Structure 1
Amino acid sequence: MSAGFGSKARLALLMASVAGATAISGCASNDKDLDLSAYVDTIEPADVLYNQALANLNAGRLDEAAKKFDAVDRQHPYSEFARKALVMGAFANYRAGKYDDSLAMTKRYIALYPTQPEAAYAYYITGLCYYRQIPDVTREQSMTRRSIAAFNEVVERFPQSEYVDDSKEKIRFGRDQLAGKEMQVGRYYLERKEYLASIKRFRGVVEQYSNTRHVEEALARLTEAYYALGLTSEAQSAAAVLGQNYPDSQWYKDSYKLLQSGGLEPRQNAGSWLSQAAQTIVGGKKNGA
C-alpha cells in the first residue's frame, strides 16, 4: 500500500467519524468548513524532501534533517531516495546522539538492502553508535562487543571499503577494552587469594587478547598466581614467556624477583599451554621495543 493511499484512507475514516459525531450531537456548525489538514500528511516529491534534509544536515539542524530523511522513507518507501535517506537519517541521528533512532534506521537498511552500496556505511554507523556508548572497564561491556561485531562486518564483508581502516582501529580499541575488563576481574580475585578464578581471567587475556597491551601484566599476574598455588613449573613458564616478549619490562623484573625468592628462575615448559600461547603474543620484543 503506498503512503499516498494510506493518507487518503485516513482522511476518509476521519471524515466519516466527524460526520457521525456531528449527526449524533447536532452541535456542529453548518456554515463553517472543517479544517482537516492537520491530520493528513503532506506528500512531497522524494527528491524535494531529500534535498531539504541535506540542506538541514549541512546547516547543522540535525533533528530537522533526521525528520526529513524519515519522511522520505515513510512517504516514498523502497524508492532510490528512501534507500539513501535511511543511511543519511541514521547519520543525522548518530551525530545528534540519538543512538537508538540511528540504530533503528541502520538495521532497517541492512535488512532491506544488504548488498547495496551504502551497506558498508550502515554497518559502520551501527558500530559507531555502540562505540560511543562503551563504558569504562569497571562496567558491563555488551556495548563493546556489539561495536566489535559491527566493525567486523565492515572489515569482512566490505574489505575495499573506505571505512575498513577506522573499523580496524576501533576493533583494536574494543578488544583492548575487553582485555582490560578481564584484567580488572582477575585482579579482584587475586587480591582475595582466589587464585584459580584469577588464573582463568588472566589466561583468557593471554589466549584471546594476545595483541593487546594487557598481555604483559597478565603474564606477570599468572606468574604470581601460579607461584602462590605452588605450581612452580607454570609460574616459571609464565615468567619465561614474559621475558621473551618484554625483557625490559618492570613486570618481568618483578616476576623474576618473585621466582628468585624461592630459588627458581624463568624456564619455559614445552608442555604448558603457555608455550602454545607464546606463539601468538605480539610483544614488545617482537615489535622492536
Structure 2
Amino acid sequence: MFSYSGAKLCAFTDTAMALGLHRINTRLSAAYVSLGLAAIVAGCATPAPRDATADWSPNRIYQEAKDEQSAGNFEKASALFDKLEGRAAGTPLAQQAQLDKAFAQYKASEPAQATATLTRFLRLHPASTATDYALYLMGLVSFNDDLGLFGSLGAQDLSERDQKAAKDSFESFRELTTRFPDSRYSKDAALRMTYIVNSLAQSEVHVARHYYTRGVYVAAINRAQKAISQFKDAPALEEALYILMRSYDALGMVELRNDTQRVMDTNYPNSQFPNDSLNTTKSWWTLW
C-alpha cells in the first residue's frame, strides 16, 4: 500500500538531502555570525593592563616599594611588597618584604591586614631573627587602635568601650619583653605596657563612674573593686577607691564606707578628691 516508484523515491531522497544541506548551511552561517560577533566584542573589550613590574628584578621591586613608602604612598608600597613576596618566595628578601608590607599596612590604617600579615610571618618563620620586631610591630598596631578607644571620650557610652585592642597589644608587648628582654624594642614595649595597664584601669573606673552617676551603686561598686583587684598601683585606683567609698555611703553601708576611707587616707593622704564631699551636693565627676 505504501510503495513508491524508484523515480519518486530518488526524487524524495534528493529533496530531503537538499533540505538537510540547507539546514546545515543555515546552522553554519549562524555559527560564523556568532563567532564574528564574539571577535568584534573581544576586539572592543579593554585589554588587560600590562604588569609594569613584569621585567623588574626583585631588588628593583624592593627599592621601588621603599621609595613609595618613603613618599607616604603606603598602599602602593604594600602592593609592591606583596608582589615581591611572591616573586622572591623562599628567600630572606621575601621575609623582609612581609615585614615591610605589614608596616605599610599599619601606616595605611589597615590594622586588620597588618595583624594578619604579622601573624602569618610569625607562623611561617618562628626562628627568624626579626621575631622581636614582628612582635613589637604587632603590639604597635593594636596599641594605636587602642588609642582610638581611650584617646577620645566622646558621645560613646563609657560602659560600652571595647578593651580587646588594648589587651591584644599588651600580650604582644609582654611576649616581646619576656622572650627578648635585651631587644632594642623591649624598653619602649615596657613603657607602653605600663600605659596600657593604666588605660585599662581607667576604663574600668570610667564605667564605675558611669554607673555611679546613674545611681546604680552596686554595679559601680563591682567595677571599682575590679579595677582595684586587677590593676595594682595604677593611678586610676585613687578614683576607684573614691567611687567605692561614695557608693557605700549612698547605700548606707557606713562601716564599709569608713573602711574604704581609711584605706584611701593611708594610700592617698594628699588625694585630689575632697574628703568632705560626702556631705555636699556638688557633682565631683564634673571636674573631668
TM-score calculated relative to the size of structure 1: 0.70
The 5 A counterparts of 1:51-200 are 51-134=63-146, 135-136=149-150, 138=158, 139-200=161-222
Match of residue 208, structure 1, among 230, 233, 249: 230
1:43–1:75: 8 Å Cα contact kept in structure 2? Answer: no
The letter for the 2-side match of 1:123 is L
What stretches of structure 1 of length at least 5 have no aligned partner? 1-21, 262-289
Match of residue 25, structure 1, among 35, 39, 42: 35
More helix by share: 2
Residue 8 (structure 2) aligns with: none
Deviation for aligned residue 1:145: 2.0
Deviation for aligned residue 1:247: 0.5
2:58, 2:85 → 1: CA distance?
9
Secondary structure of residue in 2 paired with 1:247: coil
Deviation for aligned residue 1:209: 1.5
Deviation for aligned residue 1:194: 2.6
The 5 A counterparts of 1:266-277 are none
The letter for the 2-side match of 1:53 is A
Which is worse superposed, 59-68 or 193-202?
Answer: 59-68
What stretches of structure 2 of length at least 5 have no aligned partner? 1-31, 280-288
Secondary structure of residue in 2 paired with 1:250: coil
Q: Cα deviations across residues 139-188 of structure 1 (Å, max 9, x unaligned)?
A: 32222222222222222222211111221222222222222221122122
Residue 223 of structure 1 pairs with residue 245 of structure 2 = yes
1:215, 1:132 → 2: CA distance?
24
Which is worse superposed, 230-239 or 69-78?
Answer: 230-239
**CA distance 1:187–1:36, change in 2 (3 Å):** closer
Residue 254 of structure 1 pairs with residue 237 of structure 2 = no
TM-score calculated relative to the size of structure 2: 0.70
* Structure label with greater radius of gyration: 2
Matched residues, percent identical? 28
Question: RMSD of the alignment, in Å?
Answer: 3.0
The letter for the 1-side match of 2:165 is M
The letter for the 1-side match of 2:210 is Y
1:175, 1:43 → 2: CA distance?
51
Residue 61 (structure 2) aligns with: 49
